[in-house]
Structure formats: structure tokens, C-alpha cells
């Protein structure tokens, strides 16, 4: 697998970028809370949430495999 493909498909990078997007958009949403309008920051917040949700199953799968490997090593 090429280095660029590894970077772009990294669940840790997806979660980090999602958290950054969510934090920055959330700050903008809070600042404009009294205004009755929808802006780009709302879409960015939704995209950040989607990025985080996409990475969770991959991380859970990795944690499950790590736990199974730990149990296998302890059983020997």
C-alpha cells in the first residue's frame, strides 16, 4: 500500500480531522447562535461528525483483533 493511501485511509487521521472540523465549526455555531441563519459552518460540523462516525467501526475492529491476539498469547 502506498504511503499516501495509508495516510488518507487512517482511522486516527479521520477522527482527528473530524474533531478539528467539529471544534472549529462548533465555535462558529456558538458565536452565531442568536442569528436565525444557516451557514457553511453547519455543513462543516455535519461533515466532521460523519468523519468521526466513519472511523469508529475500523477502530473497534482493530481493538477486537488486538484483544483476541492478547488472549491467544496469554493462552500459550
Q: Considering just the CA atoms, what is the radius of gyration of the chain in Å? A: 18
Residue 33 counted as domain residue: yes
Span 11-65, pLDDT tens digits = 889 899 999 999 999 999 999 888 888 889 999 999 999 999 998 998 899 889 9
The number of folded domains in the chain is 1
Host domain of residue 19: 11-75
Domain assignment present for residue 31? The answer is yes
pLDDT at 26 (0 to 100): 93
pLDDT of residue 1: 65
Supply the pLDDT for residue 25.
Answer: 95
Q: State how far the Cα of 39 lies from the Cα of 30, in Å rounded to an integer.
A: 12
The verdict on residue 4 lying in a domain is: no
Question: Smallest Cα–Cα separation from 41: which of 50, 56, 51, 31?
Answer: 31
Q: Please name which of 61, 31, 63, 62 lies closest in space to residue 45, comparing C-alpha atoms.
A: 31
Amino acid at each position: 500500500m502506498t504511503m499516501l493511501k495509508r495516510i488518507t485511509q487512517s482511522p486516527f487521521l479521520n477522527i482527528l480531522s473530524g474533531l478539528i472540523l467539529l471544534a472549529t465549526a462548533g465555535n462558529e455555531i456558538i458565536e452565531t447562535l442568536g442569528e436565525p441563519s444557516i451557514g457553511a459552518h453547519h455543513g462543516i460540523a455535519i461533515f466532521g461528525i460523519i468523519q468521526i462516525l466513519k472511523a469508529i467501526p475500523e477502530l473497534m475492529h482493530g481493538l477486537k483483533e488486538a484483544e483476541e491476539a492478547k488472549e491467544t498469547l496469554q493462552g500459550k
